[in-house]
Amino acid sequence: LGVTYRFDERHSVYANVGGGVEVPAGNETDPAGTFGQDTVTAINPLLEPIRSTTWEVGSRHRLDGLTVGPLALATLAVDAAAYYIDVRNEIVPYRGGRFYFTAGKARRMGLELGVRARTSFGLGLAGSASLSDNRYTEYVVDSVHYGKPGALARYDDNRVVGVPRWFGALQADWAIPAMPDVSVAVGLQATGGYYVDDANTLAVPSFGVVNASLRSRDLATVDGITIAGAIAVENLFDRRYVGSAYLNPDVVAGVPLYIESGMPRTLLLTFELRRK
């Protein structure tokens, strides 16, 4: 259910409330074999459907012909939103995704901001940021898979595993005036750190990578077919970072195994054929 109020054609505010039910996936209800380490291989009876209620408010604003100091902006658009989500039966992976348990309740809330602008001389700027706080509010789990039958661990108020605390992106692109079909772009993508275990002792550090691209909408035209293309470099400075992680990972010889490395510097070439 949602409501939107428009002050005018360029500015509106909105509020939404919604609910959802998500049935556990097949790999969550059917535990994977562990080569004799565990005999529990039937359908997992401990999981229930995830239920959530979401509250959101936001604003959308667009300005045209704005001047900021010496910079003349042809357009400026700003989107902002805040949300709050109550989740029951949050499903949590264990042993790198071999088993799944259920946290009683979780709370997710955050702020999001997006800004897009374009100058009168063809320079485009876009930025976005998301800040969130995601925590278990009711979570008690036994430690059967850690060799202590009957023992319990309480993780109330711990951060939800696998969810970065913030995201950010910033990109500039420019359509070259002397070559209107050619544009260049440089952007930064950044991700905040997050925990990979319920006890919040193992963490993935934050990271940022720079990407760049050169695009042409008209490299050549042959027999009425236009050839377009682009060359892009991702992770321009070849930075090392953790691309993803196993949650509540296996521990081998006292060492948790959870890191998957991100992609190194990558060159992408793309082509497009278009008939006029």
Range with the poorest average pLDDT among 100-114, 126-140, 211-225: 211-225
CB count in 10 Å sphere of residue 242: 19
pLDDT 10s digits, 114-134: 999 888 777 899 999 999 999
| pLDDT greater at residue 195 or residue 151 | 195
The mean pLDDT value for 232-256 works out to: 92
Three-class secondary structure of residue 221 per DSSP: strand
Per-residue model confidence (pLDDT) at position 171: 96
Contact status, residue 141 vs residue 128, Cβ threshold 8 Å: no
Residue 266: half-sphere exposure toward Cβ, Cα within 13 Å: 9
Per-residue model confidence (pLDDT) at position 70: 64
Residue owning tokens 């992770």: 235
For all residues of the chain together, what is the average pLDDT?
A: 88
The mean pLDDT value for 53-62 works out to: 96
Q: How confident is the model at residue 146 (pLDDT cuts 50, 70, 90)?
A: low
Cα distance from N-terminal residue to C-terminal residue, the chain: 44
Contact status, residue 138 vs residue 116, Cβ threshold 8 Å: no
**Comparing C-alpha atoms, which of 160, 250, 165, 242 is closest to residue 204?**
242
| pLDDT greater at residue 5 or residue 67 | 5
For the cut 80, the answer to whether the pLDDT of residue 231 exceeds it is yes
| pLDDT greater at residue 146 or residue 180 | 180
The mean pLDDT value for 32-59 works out to: 79
Which of 66-75, 147-156, 186-195 reaches the highest mean pLDDT? Answer: 186-195
**Comparing C-alpha atoms, which of 2, 164, 173 is closest to residue 81?**
2
DSSP H or E segment with residue 26: helix 26-29
Indicate if the alpha-carbon torsion angle 240, 209, 242, 196 is positive or negative.
positive
Per-residue model confidence (pLDDT) at position 144: 58
Contact status, residue 274 vs residue 261, Cβ threshold 8 Å: no
